[in-house]
Structure 1
Amino acid sequence: MKEVTKTLITSDIERRLLLPENCLKNFPRGRETFLKIRDEDGIVWTFRCRIPPGKHSKPALYGEYWSIFVRKKGLKAGDIIVIVFNNVVAPAAGPGGDHFEIKVKKTSPETRN
């Protein structure tokens, strides 16, 4: 199991969540894919994900469902997202968020940017 922790900035809230380079190193570059990610409430979200071509490219989660997730969770700049990459193999019926989990750590208003 591997996890990525990211303190959200304004562009993560308003446009897309940029993740660290190589955290999705086995995903195809230059194409859009969809990631099913289970949240703490057991809801599976399907986010668009694109890893630009090139050696040093950061994956981005974006699109309508990312915007809905941000609103539903009440995310603000300064809050922390933790994405856990599980080593679980998805069932033959297809992935249901078994590979990824997303956790939100809200910060107090005093510590937000």
Structure 2
Amino acid sequence: MSLLLLSSCSYFREAEKEVVTVTEIVKPTIAIIDKPKSLKLDDINWYVVTKDNIEDFKSKFADKEGDLVFYAMSVRSYENLALNMAQIKEYIMKQNEIIIYYEEAVTWKEDIIDEEVLQ
């Protein structure tokens, strides 16, 4: 009887079950839509008119284009317009990089499995 007390009843316990860990890789379910078509912008003609060439410009323009309308812009405003367009272009390029980053993040590649995920 003393032998049974010293063993703390380990003889009667069931063996521990083996723990199995299963790693499941879930494919992303976000649909990637087609990119929009490229822009097809119309041509714009710019004419630089100064006090020195205005009379010659008016006669040539009226013969070629018809009605003459002026939209005036200072040199500083034109510089601001150019800077604004550069900022818009940079913003669009950064947005495109973000879109590409997320498209690649949700695109499933069967042949590339991150080993860190499996460990």
Give the TM bin, normalised by the shorter chain: under 0.3
Higher relative contact order (CA 8 A, sep 6+): 2
Question: Larger helix proportion, structure 1 or 2?
Answer: 2
> TM-score by structure 1 length?
0.19
Please state which structure has a larger fraction of its residues in strand. Answer: 1
Q: Point out the structure with max Rg over C-alpha.
A: 2
TM-score in terms of structure 2 length: 0.19
